[in-house]
Amino acid sequence: MRYLPHTGEDIAEMLAITGHKHLDELFSHIPEAVRYQGDMGIPEPLSEWALTEHFQRLGANTKAATARAVLLGAGSYSHHIPAVIPSLINRSEFLTAYTPYQPEMAQGTLQGIFEYQNLTARLLGMEVANASMYDGASALAEALLMALRISRKKSTVAIASAIHPHYREVVYSYLRAGSFGIVELPTGPDGRTDLSGLQDIDDLAAVALQSPNFFGVIEDLEAAGDLIHGGDALFIASFSEPFAYGLLRSPGSCGADIVCGEGQRFGMSQSFGGPGLGMFACGRKFQRNMPGRLVGETVDLEGRRGWVLTLSTREQHIRREKATSNICSNQGICALTAAAYMASLGSTGLRRVAGLNYDKAAYLRESLIGAGASPLFSGPTFNEFCLTFKEDFTPIRKRLLERGIVAGVELGRFYREYAGSYLFCVTETASRAVLDEVIEEVR
């Protein structure tokens, strides 16, 4: 969006309406003693092309922006965005649409959300999906709050320590103010969550797992679901890489009651962290406890097909004490982007891209192990994996960085017990030549 400054004539016209002669008179009610004196240290204005060049120079200082390949993962993944996606999403009727309070004025927006909900529910194997949350981290926190509402008298939740550390921080921020207990479940030697201590937790409302988890390891969701339900708790499945469900069984088919995670991977650029898309789905029997909003299909008085906000249990629409959440809106344009992406790939395309992720990651993992690295965990992986090295990997990483390859996240930043080990990720965007370059450098 371009910035169009007011002309002198514009300013004079507005001042005439307010009854002032100069802009300074608008601030006459502020005492002189507390007003800022002098000029602010703001650089001189630049022309559009000079400003573009300035930002290009700033961007060149960031390795990730100019890298040949980024093999990091850890909740943010480099995926190819088909040209059709920005072409569709940048259309003004999508990009500038406001939140759909009036269905008669927002049928296109509502239909787009409805399609997103259907595609999300199919991907995750659930009956109902909402119109989206803010991001994967807040979606997980909302899922745990939802489980506590459903369980009523229970006040303790268990979350896997293998859930993304940032997601867990958000969960603590959401739940800390209430009288809720949070138990962290340890990670086993295979990289999967150790659920053996669940029977010792009293008052357990829900258990949250992430699959693939932060270490890239695929959890056994079906076995976990049986164990969790056996303890009369709700099973929440979280994710940060939805592409995994192009190959793996959906969480819903493994018995999850609530599924939530990050959907930025579907057609949105990494953009140094945001915006995100919180995908959220559950079983039909829980839909009235679901946070956010839900678009439904209906017919008008003349029998024509249409769409409305079917459920919107938020503070603006119902009494505050009955609101399921204080989330104010949904990530409309992000949800529409994800819907366009899922529809453009289809189930076959999603499976093929997921297969490329799996195959390329397996190639790099096995080759690095053959070059002397050791796997940190023995569990199965999708497109991320953790390795340890006989020698310090830092100088190798620096040499690769000089050649435009950003490889590996040092796990000690998040888990002290795994300091010196590295998390790698490979998506369809990494070429065989780049992977071979990494392998040769390690060898």
0.85 exceeded by pTM: yes
Domain with CATH 3.40.640.10 in the chain: 84-342
Residue 167: per-residue pLDDT: 98
Q: How far is it, in rounded angstroms, from Cα 188 to Cα 257?
A: 24
Phi and psi torsions of 53, nearest 5°: -65, -40
Q: Looking at residue 381, what DSSP letter applies?
A: B
Helix (H) or strand (E) holding 205: strand 204-210
* pLDDT tens per residue across span 213-269: 999 999 999 999 999 999 999 999 999 999 999 999 999 999 999 999 999 999 999
Domain with CATH 3.90.1150.10 in the chain: 63-81+347-442
* pLDDT tens per residue across span 135-164: 999 999 999 999 999 998 899 999 999 999
Give the confidence band of 177 by pLDDT, cuts at 50, 70, 90: confident
Give the confidence band of 278 by pLDDT, cuts at 50, 70, 90: very high
Q: How far is it, in rounded angstroms, from Cα 376 to Cα 364?
A: 15
Q: How far is it, in rounded angstroms, from Cα 154 to Cα 150?
A: 9
Determine the CATH number of domain 84-342: 3.40.640.10
Q: How far is it, in rounded angstroms, from Cα 314 to Cα 293?
A: 8
Tell me the two tokens of residue 60. Answer: 């060149």
Residue 12: per-residue pLDDT: 92
Name residues whose C-beta falls within 8 Å of residue 144's C-beta, 6 or more positions apart in sequence. Answer: 157, 159, 171, 174, 175, 206, 208, 236
314 has a pLDDT exceeding 60: no
| Average of per-residue pLDDT values in the chain | 92
Q: Which residues of 119-153 are buried (b: 16+ CB within 10 A; e: fewer)?
A: bbbbbbbbebbbbbbbbbbbbbbbbbbbbbbbbee
Residue 358: per-residue pLDDT: 98
Tell me the two tokens of residue 33. Answer: 């003693």
Q: How far is it, in rounded angstroms, from Cα 435 to Cα 370?
A: 14
Residue 1: per-residue pLDDT: 46
Q: Is the CB of residue 149 less than 8 Å from the CB of residue 271? A: no
Q: Which residues of 205-236 are buried (b: 16+ CB within 10 A; e: fewer)?
A: bbbbbbbbbbbbbbbbbeebbebbeeeebbbb
Q: How far is it, in rounded angstroms, from Cα 30 to Cα 33?
A: 9
Residue 62: per-residue pLDDT: 76
* pLDDT tens per residue across span 378-392: 999 999 999 999 999
Give the confidence band of 320 by pLDDT, cuts at 50, 70, 90: low
Kindly provide the residue ranges of all beta strands, DSSP E only, lying in 122-167, ordered along the sequence.
128-129, 156-160
Residue 2: per-residue pLDDT: 59
Q: Is the CB of residue 251 less than 8 Å from the CB of residue 221? A: yes
Q: Which residues of 170-202 are buried (b: 16+ CB within 10 A; e: fewer)?
A: bbeebbeeeebbeeebebbeebbbebeebeebe
Phi and psi torsions of 353, nearest 5°: -65, -40
More confident call, 9 vs 315: 9
Instruction: Tell the CATH superfamily of the 63-81+347-442 domain.
Output: Aspartate Aminotransferase, domain 1 (3.90.1150.10)
Q: Is the CB of residue 277 less than 8 Å from the CB of residue 240? A: no
Tell me the two tokens of residue 240. Answer: 């940060």
Q: How far is it, in rounded angstroms, from Cα 182 to Cα 188?
A: 19
* pLDDT tens per residue across span 85-142: 999 999 988 888 777 777 788 899 999 999 999 999 999 999 999 999 999 999 999 9
